[in-house]
Amino acid sequence: MKSFFTAELDYLITRYLEKRCTEEEKNRLFKLLGDIHLDNLLRKELLSDINKDGDTVSENQLAELNELYNSIESEIEVRKIKERKSGILHGNVNIRRIIIGSLSAAAVILLAFFIGTLAGRTRQTDYAKVAAIKNSFVTIKAPLGSKSEIVLGDGSEVLLNAGSSVSYNNSYGLTNRDLILEGEAYFKVAGNAEIPLIVNAGNLNIRATGTEFNVRAYSEDGIIETTLIEGEVEISQKSDKNRENVLVLKPQQKAIYARQDEQFSIERKKEMEPQSMANAEKISGNMMVSLKTDVEQETAWTKNKLIIRSENLESLCTKLQRKYNVTFVFRDEEIKKHRFSGILLDETFNQVMDVIMLTAPVSYEMEGRTVYLFSRKLSDNNK
């Protein structure tokens, strides 16, 4: 005989699947999912009614289960966003807080098990479809001009910089803590020695068990940079299956990895940002380590600052593109070499461009979100 708890859950899931849930019933369903501890007894109770007929699952049932799985997961995420959304504005940058808490994890466990058990009695083709449901990925993005803050189910925190995304499997925090990063993110990793957090960035695996670090891995940069703030991280290439050549970073150290043409990428980085590469030492063909990096500069973006130290205009414009959601077009290649130093806080885009024009012989015109840059000399000749 089913307990009142599992009978109620069964009733609410059925109502949800039939799209007949009231708002009060939805709230109760999500509350029950959040409270679940899936021990063996509860699993048996949850599946007792489902298994009683011994029938295989039809195509329509699989489609309904897929819809239920995705619908509940999406609604949980939306509700968490509404509950915890900070709505803090820093200048023109909108910071959104996205919470992926234990409630979502509980729903994933329950529904993955619920679907997986049914699939065990279906044809092999059906099982493959259900496996795809269980192994689906969640992707969180920070659009250009904004940042996104995420709290994962294990308590780890991720702050995404503009134009970045992080993806993870539904099993995150249960059997693995694997993330895929595109762009830049600051990580505060919750301690768990048994399940390390692994950031997959390009061809690198960055492994941590409880630490703070920053990873910059924009594909267009050609370079992946990992800066350690606290604790320890281990960096290895994905091709190194046995992890025979692992780089261990200590606090205030930065690893610089060239994605493809290592010599070109490293030299280009030195030219564009000589200050940040001043203490870098080569340790392999495509990996360098800065033994004492400027942590404040590397993580300034997390505090809505941009610290510029002897960067050329090309490098600076790459960062400004992400921060202000604009596109720069150079009409004069020579002006890329002008160097700048300073600190940007909450300045508007126009204020930043005014400073650039005061500091170097550069002018600009703007059409929509495209900014055309040219030398002031060229600008004067065109008048």
Tens of pLDDT, residues 178-196:
999 999 999 999 999 889 9
Q: 120: buried, middle or exposed (CB in 10 Å: 19+, 13-18, 0-12)?
A: exposed
* Mean pLDDT comparison of 59-63, 77-81, 102-106, 107-111, highest-scoring range: 77-81
How far is 9 from 15, CA to CA, in rounded Å? 10
How far is 76 from 350, CA to CA, in rounded Å? 40
* Percent of the chain residues past pLDDT 70, beyond the cut: 57
Q: Where does 133-232 show beta strands of DSSP type E?
A: 137-142, 146-151, 157-160, 164-169, 177-188, 197-201, 204-208, 212-217, 223-230
Say yes or no to pLDDT of 297 above 70. yes
Query: What's the maximum distance between 2 C-alpha atoms anywhere in the chain?
Result: 88
Q: Which helix (H) or strand (E) segment is 94 a member of?
A: strand 93-99
- The pLDDT confidence band at residue 126, using thresholds 50, 70 and 90, is very low
Q: Looking at the whole model, is its pTM more than 0.85?
A: no
Please check whether residue 96 is in contact with residue 88, taking contact to mean a CB–CB distance below 8 angstroms: no
* Percent of the chain residues past pLDDT 90, beyond the cut: 35
Query: Where do runs of H (alpha helix) occur along the chain?
Result: 4-17, 23-35, 40-51, 59-84, 102-119, 124-134, 262-272, 295-299, 313-324, 349-359, 376-382
How far is 73 from 277, CA to CA, in rounded Å? 44
Angle ∠(38,43,49) on CA atoms, nearest 5: 145
